[in-house]
Amino acid sequence: MSHKLDPIAGTQGDVASHDQTKSWFYTDIVKEHFFHPKNFMEQDADESQFNAVGKVGSPACGDELRVWMKVDPETERIQEFKWKTFGCGSAIASTSMASEIVTENGGMTLEEARALKPQDIMERLGGLPQRKFHCSVLCDKALRDAINDFYRRENKFDKIVVESARIIDPVSKVTDHDIEEAVLEGAHTLELVQQKTKVGIGNPNCLPAVEELIRFYKEKYFGGK
Protein backbone atom coordinates (compact mmCIF):
# COMPACT_ATOMS: atom_id res chain seq x y z
CA MET A 1 0.00 0.00 0.00
CA SER A 2 1.39 3.37 -0.90
CA HIS A 3 0.85 7.05 -1.39
CA LYS A 4 -0.24 6.96 -5.03
CA LEU A 5 -0.09 9.87 -7.45
CA ASP A 6 -3.36 11.19 -8.81
CA PRO A 7 -3.62 10.62 -12.55
CA ILE A 8 -4.95 14.16 -12.92
CA ALA A 9 -2.44 15.68 -10.49
CA GLY A 10 0.66 13.56 -10.89
CA THR A 11 3.04 16.44 -11.49
CA GLN A 12 3.24 20.15 -10.85
CA GLY A 13 2.58 20.75 -14.54
CA ASP A 14 -0.50 18.54 -14.55
CA VAL A 15 -1.98 20.41 -11.61
CA ALA A 16 -1.26 23.76 -13.20
CA SER A 17 -2.95 22.74 -16.44
CA HIS A 18 -6.04 21.57 -14.60
CA ASP A 19 -6.14 24.80 -12.58
CA GLN A 20 -7.07 26.44 -15.86
CA THR A 21 -10.20 24.32 -16.03
CA LYS A 22 -12.68 25.48 -13.42
CA SER A 23 -14.31 22.07 -12.96
CA TRP A 24 -10.95 20.58 -11.92
CA PHE A 25 -9.61 23.50 -9.86
CA TYR A 26 -7.45 22.54 -6.88
CA THR A 27 -6.69 25.03 -4.11
CA ASP A 28 -3.15 25.69 -2.89
CA ILE A 29 -4.06 23.93 0.37
CA VAL A 30 -5.08 20.78 -1.52
CA LYS A 31 -1.83 20.86 -3.49
CA GLU A 32 0.19 21.32 -0.31
CA HIS A 33 -1.40 18.28 1.32
CA PHE A 34 -0.99 16.24 -1.87
CA PHE A 35 2.67 17.04 -2.48
CA HIS A 36 3.54 17.09 1.25
CA PRO A 37 1.05 14.76 2.99
CA LYS A 38 0.89 14.97 6.77
CA ASN A 39 0.98 11.94 9.12
CA PHE A 40 1.55 9.42 6.32
CA MET A 41 2.25 5.91 7.63
CA GLU A 42 5.86 5.09 6.77
CA GLN A 43 6.72 1.68 5.38
CA ASP A 44 8.82 0.62 8.39
CA ALA A 45 6.45 1.99 11.06
CA ASP A 46 5.48 -0.24 13.98
CA GLU A 47 1.73 -0.80 13.53
CA SER A 48 1.42 -2.57 16.89
CA GLN A 49 1.63 0.76 18.75
CA PHE A 50 -1.83 1.73 17.48
CA ASN A 51 -5.02 0.56 19.15
CA ALA A 52 -7.50 1.31 16.36
CA VAL A 53 -7.46 0.50 12.65
CA GLY A 54 -9.96 1.47 9.97
CA LYS A 55 -10.33 0.49 6.34
CA VAL A 56 -12.63 1.41 3.48
CA GLY A 57 -12.63 0.49 -0.20
CA SER A 58 -10.54 -1.99 -2.12
CA PRO A 59 -7.62 -1.62 -4.57
CA ALA A 60 -9.42 -4.09 -6.82
CA CYS A 61 -12.26 -1.65 -7.48
CA GLY A 62 -10.55 1.72 -7.03
CA ASP A 63 -9.64 3.78 -3.98
CA GLU A 64 -8.63 2.05 -0.75
CA LEU A 65 -7.79 3.81 2.48
CA ARG A 66 -6.44 2.50 5.77
CA VAL A 67 -5.99 4.53 8.94
CA TRP A 68 -4.29 3.78 12.24
CA MET A 69 -5.09 5.65 15.45
CA LYS A 70 -3.56 5.78 18.89
CA VAL A 71 -6.37 6.58 21.31
CA ASP A 72 -6.03 7.33 25.03
CA PRO A 73 -8.28 4.68 26.66
CA GLU A 74 -9.08 6.99 29.59
CA THR A 75 -10.01 10.18 27.76
CA GLU A 76 -10.81 8.58 24.39
CA ARG A 77 -8.83 11.35 22.72
CA ILE A 78 -7.01 10.68 19.45
CA GLN A 79 -3.28 11.10 20.10
CA GLU A 80 -2.00 9.94 16.71
CA PHE A 81 -3.57 9.36 13.31
CA LYS A 82 -1.63 7.70 10.47
CA TRP A 83 -2.81 6.55 7.07
CA LYS A 84 -1.99 4.91 3.73
CA THR A 85 -3.98 4.94 0.53
CA PHE A 86 -4.34 3.59 -2.95
CA GLY A 87 -6.18 6.64 -4.16
CA CYS A 88 -6.22 9.87 -6.08
CA GLY A 89 -4.70 13.19 -5.09
CA SER A 90 -7.98 14.39 -3.62
CA ALA A 91 -8.19 11.33 -1.36
CA ILE A 92 -4.60 11.92 -0.25
CA ALA A 93 -5.21 15.61 0.48
CA SER A 94 -8.50 14.91 2.30
CA THR A 95 -6.97 12.26 4.54
CA SER A 96 -3.89 14.37 5.22
CA MET A 97 -6.09 17.27 6.31
CA ALA A 98 -8.32 15.00 8.40
CA SER A 99 -5.25 13.65 10.21
CA GLU A 100 -4.42 17.20 11.29
CA ILE A 101 -7.99 18.07 12.28
CA VAL A 102 -8.47 15.09 14.60
CA THR A 103 -5.09 15.47 16.34
CA GLU A 104 -4.77 19.25 16.74
CA ASN A 105 -5.28 21.04 20.07
CA GLY A 106 -4.73 17.92 22.14
CA GLY A 107 -6.77 15.66 19.87
CA MET A 108 -10.48 15.18 19.33
CA THR A 109 -12.45 12.77 21.47
CA LEU A 110 -13.90 9.84 19.54
CA GLU A 111 -17.35 11.36 19.95
CA GLU A 112 -16.13 14.62 18.40
CA ALA A 113 -14.34 12.76 15.60
CA ARG A 114 -17.46 10.74 14.81
CA ALA A 115 -19.32 14.04 14.33
CA LEU A 116 -16.70 15.26 11.83
CA LYS A 117 -18.37 15.65 8.44
CA PRO A 118 -16.90 15.51 4.92
CA GLN A 119 -17.80 19.17 4.40
CA ASP A 120 -15.69 20.09 7.47
CA ILE A 121 -12.67 18.56 5.73
CA MET A 122 -13.67 20.27 2.47
CA GLU A 123 -13.85 23.67 4.13
CA ARG A 124 -10.37 23.32 5.62
CA LEU A 125 -9.04 22.37 2.19
CA GLY A 126 -10.67 25.38 0.60
CA GLY A 127 -12.92 23.12 -1.46
CA LEU A 128 -12.58 20.21 -3.89
CA PRO A 129 -13.93 19.76 -7.41
CA GLN A 130 -17.49 18.43 -7.15
CA ARG A 131 -16.48 15.28 -9.02
CA LYS A 132 -13.92 14.59 -6.28
CA PHE A 133 -16.13 15.22 -3.25
CA HIS A 134 -16.52 11.47 -2.66
CA CYS A 135 -12.83 11.39 -1.65
CA SER A 136 -13.53 13.28 1.58
CA VAL A 137 -16.35 10.82 2.28
CA LEU A 138 -13.87 7.96 1.87
CA CYS A 139 -11.77 9.43 4.69
CA ASP A 140 -14.85 9.99 6.85
CA LYS A 141 -15.88 6.34 6.50
CA ALA A 142 -12.39 5.02 7.33
CA LEU A 143 -12.28 7.21 10.44
CA ARG A 144 -15.62 5.88 11.67
CA ASP A 145 -14.49 2.33 10.96
CA ALA A 146 -11.40 2.92 13.13
CA ILE A 147 -13.57 4.32 15.93
CA ASN A 148 -15.68 1.17 15.86
CA ASP A 149 -12.49 -0.92 15.93
CA PHE A 150 -11.29 0.88 19.08
CA TYR A 151 -14.57 0.21 20.88
CA ARG A 152 -14.49 -3.41 19.70
CA ARG A 153 -11.01 -3.88 21.19
CA GLU A 154 -12.11 -2.20 24.42
CA ASN A 155 -15.22 -4.42 24.63
CA LYS A 156 -17.44 -1.34 24.55
CA PHE A 157 -19.84 -2.87 22.07
CA ASP A 158 -22.66 -0.50 23.02
CA LYS A 159 -20.66 2.36 21.46
CA ILE A 160 -20.20 0.66 18.09
CA VAL A 161 -22.27 2.23 15.32
CA VAL A 162 -23.02 -0.13 12.43
CA GLU A 163 -24.29 1.32 9.16
CA SER A 164 -26.35 -1.10 7.07
CA ALA A 165 -27.62 -0.58 3.55
CA ARG A 166 -31.37 -0.44 2.90
CA ILE A 167 -32.77 -1.76 -0.39
CA ILE A 168 -34.80 0.98 -2.07
CA ASP A 169 -35.69 -0.85 -5.28
CA PRO A 170 -36.23 -4.63 -4.87
CA VAL A 171 -36.22 -5.06 -8.66
CA SER A 172 -32.81 -3.49 -9.39
CA LYS A 173 -31.48 -4.20 -5.86
CA VAL A 174 -30.39 -0.56 -5.56
CA THR A 175 -29.71 0.53 -1.97
CA ASP A 176 -29.67 3.88 -0.21
CA HIS A 177 -25.87 3.66 -0.26
CA ASP A 178 -25.94 3.33 -4.06
CA ILE A 179 -28.02 6.50 -4.30
CA GLU A 180 -25.70 8.27 -1.84
CA GLU A 181 -22.68 7.39 -4.00
CA ALA A 182 -24.47 8.59 -7.13
CA VAL A 183 -25.24 11.97 -5.55
CA LEU A 184 -21.66 12.29 -4.35
CA GLU A 185 -20.47 11.65 -7.90
CA GLY A 186 -22.61 14.53 -9.20
CA ALA A 187 -25.99 12.94 -9.97
CA HIS A 188 -28.27 15.55 -8.39
CA THR A 189 -31.48 14.81 -10.29
CA LEU A 190 -33.68 11.72 -10.51
CA GLU A 191 -32.80 11.31 -14.18
CA LEU A 192 -29.05 11.33 -13.51
CA VAL A 193 -29.39 8.95 -10.55
CA GLN A 194 -31.38 6.57 -12.73
CA GLN A 195 -28.70 6.72 -15.42
CA LYS A 196 -26.11 5.66 -12.88
CA THR A 197 -28.07 3.10 -10.87
CA LYS A 198 -31.12 2.05 -12.99
CA VAL A 199 -33.23 2.56 -9.87
CA GLY A 200 -36.97 2.61 -10.53
CA ILE A 201 -36.68 1.74 -14.22
CA GLY A 202 -38.86 -1.32 -13.77
CA ASN A 203 -40.40 -0.29 -10.46
CA PRO A 204 -41.71 3.30 -10.52
CA ASN A 205 -43.39 2.83 -7.14
CA CYS A 206 -40.04 3.44 -5.43
CA LEU A 207 -39.37 6.79 -7.14
CA PRO A 208 -40.84 9.01 -4.37
CA ALA A 209 -38.42 7.38 -1.89
CA VAL A 210 -35.56 7.87 -4.36
CA GLU A 211 -36.35 11.57 -4.78
CA GLU A 212 -36.51 11.98 -1.02
CA LEU A 213 -33.06 10.40 -0.65
CA ILE A 214 -31.63 12.62 -3.39
CA ARG A 215 -32.88 15.70 -1.53
CA PHE A 216 -31.50 14.34 1.75
CA TYR A 217 -28.00 13.62 0.39
CA LYS A 218 -27.85 16.92 -1.51
CA GLU A 219 -28.63 18.78 1.71
CA LYS A 220 -26.21 16.64 3.72
CA TYR A 221 -23.24 17.04 1.42
CA PHE A 222 -23.87 20.14 -0.63
CA GLY A 223 -26.19 22.27 1.47
CA GLY A 224 -29.08 21.66 -0.88
CA LYS A 225 -27.28 23.19 -3.88
**For this structure, is 61 an active site residue?**
yes
Dist CA 141 CA 114 (whole Å): 10
Q: Which of 61, 88, 139, 206 is catalytic?
A: 61
Dist CA 115 CA 130 (whole Å): 22
As beta bridge partners, residue 69 has 52, 81
Burial class (CB in 10 A: 0-12, 13-18, 19+), 208: exposed
Write the CA distances from 176 to 76, 93, 158, 163, integer angstroms: 31, 27, 25, 11
**For this structure, is 139 an active site residue?**
no
What letter does residue 70 receive in the DSSP assignment? E
Q: Which of 88, 135, 139, 206 is catalytic?
A: 135
As beta bridge partners, residue 86 has 64
Catalytic residues: 61, 135
